[in-house]
Amino acid sequence: MGLLKSLRFRIFLSMLLLVVTASILIALVTIYQYREEAQDYHRQRLERKETAITKNIEYVLKNTTYPIETKNIPLIFKNKIYEIKDVNNLDIYFYDLEGKLLKSSKPSFLKDTSHIRLPKGILENLKNSVDQRYLVEFMENNQKYQSSYSYITDASYKPLAILNLPYIEDDDFINKELKENLTRMGVAYFIMLLIAIGVAYFLSKYITRSLNHVSQKINETRLNKRNKKIELEPNTTQEISNLVLAYNGMIDELENSAAQLAASEREAAWREMAKQVAHEIKNPLTPMRLTVQSFLRKFDPSDEKINEKLAEYSNTLIQQIDTMSSIASAFSTYADMPAQQDETLNIVRITKLAIDIFNEDYIYFFSEEKEIISKFDRTQLIRVVTNLVKNSIQAIEQKQPEDPRIDVTVTKHEAATHIMVKDNGIGISEVNKSKVFEPKFTTKSSGMGLGLAMVKNIVETYGGSITLSSTEGEGATFVVSIPK
């Protein structure tokens, strides 16, 4: 589910980022476009004003009574320069060919030393220009300017003076338009963003809906049960269809594998059980055969002790037959799964009855409660307790401590009743702890190794559990947890 949520979030986030990125890019392109248009506008406006002023100057030169010479420029444009300035709304400066100021449209009572002489770099660039015009762009007091320099010629195109037109790039109007345009775009893209959020949410939900269904089915897939296939909807996309078909194919393979595995496990279990039964039965058959053969060789009806020998022979056979009977009973008990015959029992009383059958005086029973009620099968509960106590008795016999002790304690907990069997016997090594509940495992010289496996089988059938804690050489503690 975490992967699907991540995929849904990524689809959702990708669509939002796409809209936001697109809006930012369009805003940047718009700003760049406005600035380019502003530069083109100012350049073309300056050129138009320069053309108009040049025509006015040519008109004045044609109609003047003064000789058209550089030194007479201040006289020729004594008053006309102000008229030209007012018409074109632009300051005008006349310089001689050496760069010295001849006449300015600024009032004479304002002393301005910044325009007295042109820099040599401007004169050189103007002389070297192809069209005899030189344009300078500069910043001053955070205001952008353009300053145009060109030659004024006479009728024979001989240079008379240098015309300088300083132009202020006033972007207030353009910036206002840009701000209004960006505001309108911001509102539009905010609405688009809200729409994109809704579309992204439902689209990502639609895309991941089928994946969620497949993920849920995969989580519910179990080897020990029949798993349902996923039915394809009519409008399912090709990618989801391929995924569903792959899942359904996996279910078929899983069922076939599970059936083969179950059959193999059953066959292996029966083979192992048959081997174990054959092995255990052969053990008493060998001494029985030897006894019969010995009896046949030594049988003498006239022997005075024939009755004693016959009794000894019979006792030996009876003992081996009893051994075979106990082997058959052990296998029968293990193979017979406990049926869940729920009875309302007093766990304290039944446990006490179960340990009363033992004659060992080192078995002690403890319970703080006189009555703890749970549902369990009486016979199976007695079988659980007696098997655990028998196991502890055998562990004590193997160690033979000076003060043998087995404590059987029943305690009441919120969700379960615990039966604890603790002994100070030989204990269980770390290597064998994980094997004690396996069928056929035993550390004793006798026995089938089915007792603890049967206990675990019974307890788990009723929804309970059994745990072991042990230190080798110091004893073992088994705790059976029975749900209330």
Segment of 18-32, 79-93, 429-443, 444-458 carrying the highest mean pLDDT: 79-93
Provide, rounded to the nearest whole percent, the portion of the chain with pLDDT above 70.
70
Measured from the Cβ of residue 74, the count of other Cβ atoms closer than 10 Å reads 16
Whether residue 459 is contained in a domain is answered as: yes
Total number of residues shown for the chain:
484
> Does residue 249 contact residue 271 with C-beta atoms inside 8 Å?
no
Structure confidence at residue 256 as a pLDDT band (50, 70, 90):
confident
Q: Is position 454 within any domain?
A: yes
pLDDT in tens, 104-146: 888 754 455 556 888 888 888 888 888 788 888 877 777 777 8
* 189 within domain boundaries: no
Please tell me whether residues 253 and 302 are part of one structural domain: yes
Is 213 part of any domain? no
The reply to whether 141 and 257 lie within a common domain is no
In this structure, are 293 and 355 located in the same domain? Answer: no
Q: What is the CATH number of the domain that holds 477?
A: 3.30.565.10
Nearest by Cα to 395 from 347, 328, 466, 451? 451
- 284 and 366 share one domain: no
What pLDDT score does 287 carry?
A: 63
Enter the tokens of residue 129: 């220009």
Q: Is residue 245 part of a domain?
A: yes
Same domain assignment for residues 115 and 19: yes
CATH number of the domain enclosing 136: 3.30.450.20
For tokens 């006792």, what's the residue?
315
Residues 26 and 165 in one domain: yes
Burial of 286 (0-12, 13-18, 19+ CB in 10 A): exposed
Q: Which of 335, 365, 398 is the last residue of a domain?
A: 335
**CA-to-CA distance for 427 and 429, rounded, in angstroms?**
7
The verdict on residue 186 lying in a domain is no
Which one, of 391, 386, 379, lies nearest residue 428 by Cα?
Answer: 391
What is the tens place of the pLDDT at every residue in 360-411? 889 999 998 889 888 888 888 888 888 899 888 988 988 888 889 999 999 9
358 and 321 within one domain: no
pLDDT for position 407: 93
Helix (H) or strand (E) holding 134: strand 133-140
Mean pLDDT of 161-179: 75
Rounded (5°) CA angle 120-121-126: 100
Q: Which of 335, 358, 376 is the last residue of a domain?
A: 335
- Considering 18-22, 37-41, 424-428, the range whose residues carry the highest mean pLDDT is 424-428
> Average pLDDT of 32-52?
79
Q: Are residues 87 and 128 in the same domain?
A: yes
Do 351 and 463 share a domain, yes or no?
yes
Query: Can you name the residues that pair with 153 across neighbouring β-strands?
Result: 159
Residue-number span of the structural domain to which 102 is assigned: 2-175
d(CA 253, CA 232) in angstroms, rounded, equals 19
Give the C-alpha separation, 390 to 116, whole Å: 123
- DSSP string computed for 154-216: -TT--EEEEEEEEEE---HHHHHHHHHHHHHHHHHHHHHHHHHHHHHHHHHHHHHHHHHHHHH
Per residue in 46-78, pLDDT (tens digit) is 788 888 888 888 888 888 888 888 888 888 888
Which pLDDT band, with edges at 50, 70 and 90, does 418 fall under? Answer: very high
When the pLDDT of each residue in the chain is averaged and rounded to a whole number, the result is: 77
Reply yes or no on whether the pLDDT at 174 is more than 80: no
> Rounded to the nearest 5°, which phi and psi values hold at 348?
-60, -45
Residue 170 lies in a domain: yes
Residue 32 is assigned to a structural domain of this protein: yes
What is the C-alpha to C-alpha distance for residues 469 and 4, in angstroms, rounded to an integer? 42
Last residue of a domain, one of 175, 197, 212: 175
Using CB atoms within 10 A of its CB, is residue 221 exposed (0-12), middle (13-18) or buried (19+)?
A: middle
Q: What is the mean pLDDT of residues 211-223?
A: 63
Whether 137 and 10 map to the same domain: the answer is: yes
For residue 428, give every residue at least 6 positions away whose Cβ sits within 8 Å of its Cβ, in sequence order, or none. Answer: 436, 443, 468, 470, 472, 476
Least confident of 49-53, 282-286, 424-428: 282-286
Total structural domains in the chain?
3
pLDDT of residue 3: 46
The pLDDT value recorded for residue 477 is 92
If phi > 0 it is left, if psi is from -120 to 50 it is alpha, else beta; for residue 463 that is: left
360 and 327 both lie in a single domain: no
Residues 320 and 354 in one domain: no
